[in-house]
Structure 1
Amino acid sequence: MDLKEQIGKKADIVNEALKKSLSLKGLKIHDAMRHLIFGGGKRLRPVIAMVSCEAVGGKKEDCIPFAVAVELIHNFTLLHDDIMDKDDFRRGMKTTHVVFGEPRAIIAGDALFARAYEEILKLKIKPEKLKILLEDFSEMIREIAEGQDMDIDFEERTDVLEEEYLKMVEKKTARIIKTSAMGGAVIGNGSKEQVENLSEYGRLIGVGFQIWDDVLGLVGDPKRTGKPVGNDVRRGKKTLIVVHGLNHAGDEDKKTLLNTLGKENAANEEIETIIEILRKTNSIDYAKNMALSLVEKAKENLEVLPDSDSKQILSMLAEYCVGRDK
């Protein structure tokens, strides 16, 4: 089975639904809402929602509004992240706030947030299931904000623990993937065990996904990732790699790490020195191995599902999260 083809088919369905959802016209905010979302993206979260729905015996068509909702929220967070991080480019194009200005980009993000709830209310499911989804969706958005707050706080700290980093990633990155898988299972009328296992599957691959992203940000090919090497170092981000490195580097290397972290104008040579230190402490391999381990645990949660193409796709998606190069 070709995973790229399977993702592509479902991504096409999501894209058509997104076009309808964001067909609003007449104001500049409407163009701002569309700018990032139609500039690319893997559509990983809505695909996971739809495949999870099918994996428990549901129909992907029933899940489309929910799949659109999670993609809208994902882009809402990216739009606001770009403002906070002062990023000028994403997906190889100028970010929304660069094109439309910060005030309009902020309200465009808010409008995507609202539109997501409008999409969820289109679901044709029992009221008790809708209540479950809405409660989880609201909790997810709060936790994403909490994770972002933790990430901001970590930039100013040199004593971040591995457990704190993992908790931050669970909230900021993994929570929406957890919700995607869980929501799909609820809409597909999965059993309590299937819903719980798919929720855990989403959480685990979400954390693994972010750790792998941290690896790519340090040693990935900028032509593939679309991000400059060492961007996280220049911003002072406390990734798992950096947290591990700070805890295992010698005094001189630790001093070099601390002096370079958060240095926005750090030269490429300085970034190369940091990468060498993090290789010496085995921090890059440590992060890679943790991501791979999380994915293996995630796949174990799929054992409650009946054998099907959808189950196989979920397993392949988990592996993709830690095998991609962008």
Structure 2
Amino acid sequence: MNLAILGAGAIGPAAAALAASRGHAVALWSPSGRGTAGMTDHIEAEGALTGRFSLRIAMTLEAALEGAEVALLAVPAYAHAALLPRIAAAMPPKMPLLIAPAAALSPLAFEALRAGLGPRAPVGGLATTPTTARRLAPGLVRIPAIRAAVDLAAIPAAAAPGLAAMATDLFGHECPVAPDVLQPALANANPIIHAVLALANVTRIERAEAWPQYELMTEASGRLMQALQAERDALAARCGLRVISLAESLHRASGVPRAALHAMGLAIAASGRSVNGPAAMDTRYVTEDVPFGLSFYLWLAARQGVAMPATESVVTVLESLWGRDLRRNALLDGLALEDLSGALRDGIGR
């Protein structure tokens, strides 16, 4: 297929390398231009995927979408509010968009932006990204792991099997079909794991120290992660959904056996897939995963009548440590959600 990847941080180039390795033609676009600065006509990958893979650098959004059959949005969730209207205006109605990860209700926000188009392609939401990745240089990306499976849902919900087959063709991982895009918004393990790691290692982050992320998933931090998971699972159940566990997420990402979280962290480190944790206070572990993860849970829980005291406490403490509001989610501002279940099932204006 011809694939347009919108976003050129670490995940976009890694997904480009993965798709190109499977025989697909890839165009890569950076919204700011910084992500593709210094790149030419290829991307080199090391780690779980090794090689040099051809791609096309697109200087504009329109150039990226030209000739594409499908697009993948791979930017931080905090960029969605500004970027989704641009994509909605430029993307042909018949071109499907995959959003990875489908943070909060970003697929529904995109659906609302295109409501006036009438019949159009579905929009898909993935629970997480096709790979983990670190950008090492303009044309070099390290891929510690390629995911074995990533849950996927669609708007309208009935389109999910077709989009799942497309995503599997592009990236190789299985795509278990979820009932609606609320499920992948809750299934992503990163908001819980990353928020707890940031909370437990804030002084290391503030001092820009190098610290091994998975080795520091200790028993104590694992207990807090499990407490947040229990509250998230109760919220999902209230919404009629079931989401995979944190252990299952780590298993899918790394291949290590399912076990207690701290044991899985040590196993990931022993396998050579460990990475250092963040070393700057503007880390996405907080600026993205809290507003569009934990705080989204709280927003939804307030509407479902579900108590989440541990999650509320973690968000409050992180707000104090980081000295900023971590609850505002601009993606939700423009959504009329009187019939959320109907919009998730049938779409808007179709």
TM-score, normalising length: structure 1: 0.29
Q: RCO (CA 8 Å, sep 6+): is it higher in 1 or 2? A: 1
Greater fraction of residues in strand:
2
